[in-house]
């Protein structure tokens, strides 16, 4: 699994370095240029957060793409490893990249804290954190983001495997429809059974208006059943993905 990941990273090396550089440059630009043109602190923070979200999505796309290439590639498929390894290495890849994103974000927060910008934001009311869990905040946020992206990835990988099992045109459309369909279904289930306490990455943060952010504030007790549900679902997604890779994904 780690060896597969190693070759994924070797292959994507330039894209990864380029992406990281682009993110850091973008954040610097928001910080420095924003100051020059007299942008509000709150607007800068929202813009940065949007930047993070955008890169989070790019990471998902990159991981999906790498997974798709892998399950189709003769060289990779000849390797004497079970198909679970392809899913595992893609998930690890996603975790790793999101981890890097979180570290950059964490450093960003430290900078906000050290310069007093964080207090400014909180005082102006454009940024509110109501964290009443026993878990420390940075840890909690990381957990939500990482688990959310993992869960979403298991779904996306399943859809990739479905797409690569089909042999006709228009499979991309079907894949998009499948992503939307399955995620609507899971959030509907979560809403009706667990009162909307899901941890899905894309809905984890709510940007309520142009310059107002809210972090989800569910306590662990409320999240746990939803988390367990998501765990079972992602295991199911992975199981189907592995079956599809074994049975019907066409290798080039």
Sheet bearing 212-214, strands edge to edge: 127-128, 212-214, 206-209
**Neighbouring residues of 33: CB distance < 8 A, sequence distance ≥ 6:** none
CA-CA distance, 22 to 110, in Å (whole number)? 20
Site string for another protein, 39-78 (x = CB under 8 A): ----------------------------------xxx-xx
The yes or no reply on residue 252 touching another protein (CB under 8 A) is yes
41 within 8 A of 212, measured Cβ to Cβ: no
Nearer to another protein, 32 or 74 (CB): 74
Choose the stretch contacting another protein; rule: CB under 8 A; options: 20-28, 30-38, 124-132, 240-248. Answer: 240-248
Nearest to 164 by CA among 242, 240, 64, 72: 72
Nearer to another protein, 206 or 246 (CB): 246
CB of 81 to another protein, least distance (A): 7
Rounded Cα–Cα distance for residues 125 and 243 (Å) = 50
Dihedral-angle region of residue 39 (phi above 0 means left; psi in -120 to 50 means alpha; beta otherwise): beta
Binding span for another protein by CB under 8 A among 79-87, 113-121, 141-149, 220-228:
79-87
7 contacts another protein (rule: CB under 8 A)? yes
Contact assessment for residue 76 and residue 3, using Cβ atoms and an 8 Å cutoff: no
35 or 243: whose CB is closer to another protein? 243
By the 8 A CB rule, do 30 and 51 touch? yes
Determine, following the binding rule CB under 8 A, whether residue 15 of this chain makes contact with another protein.
no
Within positions 96 to 115, which residues make up the interface with another protein, using CB under 8 A?
none
Residues in 129-168 that interact with another protein by CB under 8 A: 167
Among 21, 29, 50, 79, binds another protein (CB under 8 A): 79
Site for another protein, rule CB under 8 A: 3, 6-7, 10-11, 73-75, 77-82, 167, 246-248, 251-252
């Amino acid at each position: 699994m780690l060896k597969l990941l190693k070759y994924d990273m070797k292959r994507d090396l330039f894209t990864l370095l380029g992406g990281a550089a682009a993110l850091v440059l973008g954040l610097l630009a928001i910080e420095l240029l924003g100051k020059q043109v007299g942008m509000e602190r709150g607007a800068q923070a929202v813009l940065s957060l949007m930047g993070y979200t955008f890169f989070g999505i790019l990471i998902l796309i990159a991981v999906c793409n790498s997974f798709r290439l892998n399950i189709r590639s003769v060289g990779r498929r000849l390797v004497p490893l079970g198909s679970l390894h392809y899913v595992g290495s893609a998930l690890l890849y996603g975790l790793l990249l999101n981890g890097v994103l979180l570290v950059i974000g964490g450093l960003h927060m430290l900078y906000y804290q050290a310069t007093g910008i964080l207090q400014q934001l909180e005082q102006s009311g454009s940024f509110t954190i109501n964290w009443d869990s026993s878990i420390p905040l940075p840890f909690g946020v990381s957990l939500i983001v990482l688990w959310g992206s993992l869960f979403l990835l298991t779904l996306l990988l399943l859809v990739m495997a479905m797409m690569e099992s089909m042999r006709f045109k228009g499979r991309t459309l079907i894949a998009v429809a499948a992503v939307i369909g399955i995620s609507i279904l899971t959030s509907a289930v979560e809403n009706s059974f667990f009162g909307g306490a899901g941890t899905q990455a894309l809905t984890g943060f709510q940007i309520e208006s142009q310059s107002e952010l809210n972090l989800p504030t569910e306590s662990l007790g409320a999240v746990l059943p939803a988390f367990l549900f998501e765990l079972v679902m992602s295991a199911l997604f992975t199981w189907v993905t592995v079956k599809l890779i074994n049975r019907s994904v066409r290798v080039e």
